[in-house]
Structure 1
Amino acid sequence: MSEKDQKEKKQTKENKNDHQHSVNLAIIGGVVGAGVGLFANPETSKRAIRNLGESEFVKMAGEEFKKTAQEVLARQAQTAIRQLAAGYIDETTQELSGSKKETNGSEDYSSDAKYEEIKSENKNLNERLERIEKMLTNLVNSN
């Protein structure tokens, strides 16, 4: 196909779409106009509303709308609850990890303190051992 044929084909499709769009608008305009005409007269509008209220279609549509609205509200409530729960879980997790870090920090501190204490005890023990060795050496040399 040539470029010209493609352009013509595209234009034809656009014209069909424009025509369909115009028809849809005309139908919608007619329905809206008829509705306005019905409700312009108070007596006719009361009768139309009463008839619509008694209609099975409207009753079924109302029930479906009610169910759909309830489902939407239930989903929104579930989502809100899940978000709240996730927020609390995140906060709790952060608090626990924070307290673990503090505990780890204090454990590090206490382990450092324990290390220093053990180091000091080792030093004292080494000094005692050296004194004992000297005493033994002196004892051996004196005999």
Structure 2
Amino acid sequence: MSKSSRSPQLRELPLADDPLASCTPLAREPMSADQAAQVVPLLKAIADPARLRLLSLVLSHEGREACVCDLTPYFDLTQPTISHHLKVLHENGLLDREKRGTWVFYKARPQAMAALGSLFTSGTLDPAANDLAGAGA
């Protein structure tokens, strides 16, 4: 069997460089213009309601991974549209994907989730401490 007659393999697109790796939490110090430009595509990727839900569904799915067939029942969208949204999340470094037979399974990248979460937090900000300080005033 020639290589060209085999079933098509999933072509892995290069992942975006991890734009969050070089960013410090927003509350700790201001972002540079370059850092902001690198983070914006990632934030745009999750700013779409369908993609945000897909990310949430993948994260909360058994084993923290899911294939398109697991996700389509949650949407009034076609399978190709859901696949497109998953591709956007993958290309922006939020999801990894693995082909198993005819199925493609998506899994959230732990590093990306941690970095995204830390972008909006700081070790010096403690809302509980701020509430206690304000209560005594």
The answer to whether TM tops 0.5 is: no
The TM-score bracket by the shorter chain reads under 0.3
Larger radius of gyration: 1
With the length of structure 2 as denominator, give the TM-score of the two structures: 0.23
- Which of the two has greater helix per residue? 1
Q: Which has the higher contact order (CA 8 A, sep 6+)?
A: 2
- Which of the two has greater strand per residue? 2
